[in-house]
Amino acid sequence: MSTIAEFEKTEIGTIQIAPEVIEVIAGLATVEVEGVAGMSGGFAGGIAELLGRKNLSKGVKVEVGQREAAVDVSIIIQYGNKIPEIASRIQQNVKRSIEMMTGLHVVEVNVHIHDVYFKPAEKLDDDDSQLRVK
């Protein structure tokens, strides 16, 4: 993780952007994309953990220079979506959001898919269970 870099020097002082700020922007821009189930903090015991909105920066790594940033996001995708399309939308949204909010030039956005999220199967009603052979 980078330390706070001097981003811009003005007549009355400097503007600094912490890498954690870029991580949060990237995390928010990622979960805005339809088809993203959540951010992934990596593999714990072989199972990717689905992180809530409080931990958006956990699935994001950034390298920040004075004028450029490189971003890696780790996600869990919802089953049934086209992975290349979702990944492309994430790249575009993350790049646009960071550049618009910070003025940094985003040189790359790497998307890592760690897992697929399946919606839990709906429970059978009690009436349906009576139809089953016993």
Which contiguous run of DSSP H or E holds residue 65? none
Give me the sign of the Cα torsion angle 25, 78, 41, 61: negative
User: In percent, how much of the chain has pLDDT > 70?
Assistant: 72
Q: Please state at what angle helix 19-31 crosses helix 83-102, rounded to 10 degrees.
A: 140
Distance, in Å, from the CA atom of 112 to the CA atom of 46, rounded to the nearest integer, reads 15
What are the pLDDT digits (tens) for 64-98?
988 999 999 999 999 999 999 999 999 999 999 99
- 129 three-state secondary structure: helix
Q: Residues 6 or more apart from 31 whose CB is under 8 A from it?
A: 38, 39, 53, 56
- Domain residue ranges in the chain: 5-130
Contact 17, 102 (CB under 8 A): yes
What lies within 8 Å, CB to CB, of 68 at 6+ separation is 104, 105, 106, 107
- At 29 the three-state DSSP class reads helix
**pLDDT > 90: percent of the chain:** 55
pTM for the model: 0.77
What's the fold here for domain 5-130?
Answer: Alpha-Beta Plaits (3.30.70)
Residue 46 pLDDT: 39
Instruction: Among 7-11, 91-95, 102-106, name the one with the lowest average pLDDT.
Output: 7-11
